[in-house]
Structures are given as C-alpha cells and as structure tokens.
Amino acid sequence: MVLVMIRTAIIFVALLIIMRLMGKRQIGEMQPFELIITLVIADLACIPMADASIPLLYGIVAVLTIFVLHEIMTLLDLKVKPLKSLISGKPSVVVNKNGIDDYQLKRNNLDVSDLIESLRTAGYFSLDSIDYAIYESNGMFSALPKQDYEKTQTSLPLVIIDNGKYDKKNLGITGLEKEFFDGILKEQGVKSEKKVLVLTADGTGKLYLQVKNEKFRTFTVNYPEGKTW
Amino acid sequence: MVKSIAAILTAIALLIGAAIFECYYVSEQFDSFGKELHTLYLKTENETANIEDAKAVQTSWEERKEHLHVWIPHNDVSRIDDYMSETVRLIGEKEYSYALANLEILIHLCSCLPETYSPALENIF
C-alpha cells in the first residue's frame, strides 16, 4: 500500500514536470496539476475495476493519494506565491505596444501563426487591433483591444511572411507576386525577408510589418491592377 | 482553508493507518503461516507427515487467504494455493522428497512475499 502511494506520488510529480515543460498550449483551461489529475484518475479507478487480480483497495489508495496531492497543490497554489509560478506557470505577454514579443513566443513553444490563430479565436483578426495579448498560465488567450478596433477589421489579413519565410498558399490567395512584396520590403528599408518576423496584408492594402527585434509598423499600399480579397 | 487542511490530514491519517495495518497484518499472517509450514517441513523430512497434517495447514491457509485477498494481489495468493494443493497430494502419496521441494518454495514465498510490498527502492521502481 505504501508502494502504491509512493508510486502514485512519483508519477504525479513526473507528469507535472513534463506538463510544465510542454508549455501552456498543451493544457487548455486547466492548471497543469488539474489536467494531470484528470488524465490519471480515470485509469487509477479503472485498472483495479477491470483486473480482478488487483485488490480494489489499491485503486482506492491511489485515488486517495491523488486527492491528497491535489489538495496540497491547491493550497500551495493559493498560499505560497513563489511556488504558484513553479506549479502553474505564469502568464506571458506575447504582444505589447511594440508588437509581437518573439522571445516570449519561443518560450511558450509558439510561432507567429499560432499567435494569429489564437487571436482570431479571441475575435481579433488583425495584429494591429490589439495593444496587448497574454497567454495565461492555463493556456487561455487574452487580449486588450485598441479603442475602436472593430473599425480596423474590414478585411481578412493574410500572413505573407512568417518568421522569414513567404507563405506560398497565402501568396496564391492574394494573387500577388513575391516580387511585389520584395519591393515593399526594400521601400521599408528591409534588406531580406529573412529579417521579417511577420508581414500581413489585408484586402484593402493595409500591411502590418514587424522586423525581428524592432517595433512593428503599419502602412497602406495600392495593389497592382486593383486586386483585393 | 481549514476544510482543506482537515481533508488533507484525514486522508493522510487514513492512508498511513491503512499502510501500517497492512504492513503489520500481511507480515504477521505470512509469519504464522511460515511457522506452520516449517513444522510440516520437519515432519515431512522425518517422513512422519500424513495427509491430515497437510490438510490442516491447507485449511489454515484457506482461512488466512480470505482476508489476504483484500491486501495483496490475488496472483500472489494463487501461487501459494497451487503449491499448497500439490504438497497435500504429494504428502498423501508419501512422495516426501517432492513434497519437501514444494514446502521449501512455500517457506521461501512466505518470507519474501511481504518484502515485495515494503517501500524499498527496488519495489518502487
């Protein structure tokens, strides 16, 4: 029985470390230790139930151990602030007034397309419609929109350059050539697309450009032959 | 907060209490049964053991195992069941040398089985 308790505690701690290392995107609405409990508790209850060679008591002891660990984790989470960030992680500001924080994105195992996807899920289709975006410790995404942000969302922005690489699929949707955007980059003083963290373009000609380690800029261009989407 | 701490302490007390009881109970049961097996072993060695002696030990095991099923995996219980039944038959047929081999295994199981549930490093991992 002591063995079951120790083994349960070891597996719990190992899973907690792995979940914390995996980052916020694996979690989704729960704290890491709550997700582990959800994953583990069903099996702990089922194995002794289905396997008649294991005493039912082993399942009960394991579930009770998980309960104790959960209560201890909840208490630590509430009462010991330094441990809170260790157990549950802390929120990351991935977009600020300078634009996307590439370092924070990488720390959370995310890329620009993941960020834009999360933004769209939260109802923000354009990167310049928000002042701040935060990945919460439970994997949820929060954003502080700019005033009258809805007026800026008139057309769907497409990612043209994502972390130094052209998105060929989106280029095809715009019906524009790579050379057109290369020209724009030159006009903006950017030597190569490899230096670009993100370039988005919407159907009205509004572009959002952020060069790596620089503040973002937005500007308007006219598309050749009056193209739009 | 108070409710949480009370729940934690109650659960820990239950777990520790059950663990101590299990440790004591399982060891005690196997210890007593081991002694009975040892007596049977000596009688078998002297070729004075008969089927009634073997059946008495088997009956004693049957009573113990009803409760042991709650605490230890049932496969471990059935391992002793198998060797015990065979030993009864061998003593009944006066095959003492084979019965001694089986009794040695049973005595060994009685001494090592409780250890497999102790919180030692080799058992944890």
Q: Is the pLDDT of residue A227 over 80?
A: no
How far apart are alpha carbons A78 and A73 in whole angstroms? 9
Question: Could you tell me which residues are beta bridge partners of residue A219?
Answer: A207
Nearest CA in chain B to A7: B124
CB contact (8 A) between residue A71 and residue B7: yes
Residues 6+ apart with CB under 8 A from A136: A24, A91, A142
Nearest CA in chain A to B121: A3
Q: Which long-range contacts does A22-27 make (Cβ < 8 Å, 24+ apart)?
A: A22/A109, A23/A108, A23/A109, A23/A110, A24/A89, A24/A92, A24/A108, A24/A135, A24/A136, A24/A137, A24/A138, A24/A139, A25/A108, A25/A109, A25/A110, A25/A114, A25/A139, A26/A139, A27/A138, A27/A139
Burial zone of B117 (CB within 10 Å; 0-12 exposed, 13-18 middle, 19+ buried): buried
Does A50 touch chain B if contact means CB atoms closer than 8 Å? no
The pLDDT value given to residue A7: 85
What would the pLDDT profile of A142-184 be if each residue is shown by its tens digit?
999 988 888 777 788 999 999 999 999 998 988 888 999 999 9
What would the pLDDT profile of B69-107 be if each residue is shown by its tens digit?
888 889 899 999 999 999 999 999 989 999 999 999 999
| Whole-structure pTM value | 0.69
Q: Are strands A206-211 and A217-220 parallel, antiparallel or unpaired?
A: antiparallel
List of chain A residues whose C-beta atoms are within 8 Å of the C-beta of residue B2: none
CB B87 within 8 A of CB B81: no
Give me chain A's average pLDDT, please: 86
How far apart are alpha carbons A193 and A199 in whole angstroms? 9
Residue B54's pLDDT band, with cuts at 50, 70 and 90, is very high
Q: Is the pLDDT of residue B37 over 90?
A: yes
Residue A200 is encoded by which pair of tokens? 């988005």
CB contact (8 A) between residue A54 and residue B118: no
Domains of chain A: 2-86 (no CATH), 92-226 (3.30.240.20)
What would the pLDDT profile of A94-135 be if each residue is shown by its tens digit?
999 999 999 998 888 888 888 988 888 888 988 888 999 998
